[in-house]
């Protein structure tokens, strides 16, 4: 049996387009073109039944390599820690003060977009430092 090579990451959220556009900025993704026959995503969205308007949004890796990110509206709010989270790899190969500087710089950039810094996990005997953040709807992710 062949192994699966493509997958998407799905986010449950209250405001799919807003959260998707935030993550586009975080990871350098883009909003794909609207479906054939529609000039814009707004035009496509208005073509849907009222209850489905604004219910989902997508962003993709412009190189086509990374997974598609799918954002879907759900009625309930987030109440507990994520069971899965993204690690945004900004400090790969860096150690010590150089790594901390890279994490802090990216953390400041993302805070300006609405992210919230949660805590710095300092390096220990097994792991390098990592900065825990929350996106604009409170979903945890790490700057690693």
Q: In the numeric block, which tokens belong to residue 64?
A: 């086509």
| Residues 58-98: tens digit of each pLDDT | 999 999 999 999 999 998 877 787 778 899 999 889 989 99
Cα dihedral 125, 126, 129, 134, rounded to 10, equals -140
| Residues 42-68: tens digit of each pLDDT | 999 999 999 999 999 999 999 999 999
Q: pTM, whole model, 2 decimals? A: 0.88
- pLDDT score of 1: 66
How would you class 107 by CB atoms within 10 Å of its CB: exposed for 0-12, middle for 13-18, buried for 19 or more? Answer: buried
């Amino acid at each position: 049996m062949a192994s699966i090579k493509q997958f998407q990451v799905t986010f449950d959220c209250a405001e799919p387009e807003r959260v998707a556009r935030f993550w586009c900025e975080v990871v350098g993704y883009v909003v794909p073109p609207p479906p054939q026959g529609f000039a814009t995503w707004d035009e496509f969205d208005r073509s849907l039944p009222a209850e489905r308007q604004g219910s989902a949004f997508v962003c993709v890796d412009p190189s086509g390599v990374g997974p598609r990110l799918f954002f879907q509206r759900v009625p309930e709010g987030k109440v507990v820690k994520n069971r899965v989270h993204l690690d945004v790899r900004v400090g790969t190969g860096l150690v010590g003060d150089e790594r901390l500087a890279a994490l802090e710089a990216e953390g400041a950039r993302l805070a300006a977009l609405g992210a919230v810094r949660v805590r710095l996990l300092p390096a220990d005997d097994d792991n390098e430092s990592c900065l825990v953040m929350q996106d604009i709807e409170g979903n945890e992710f790490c700057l690693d």
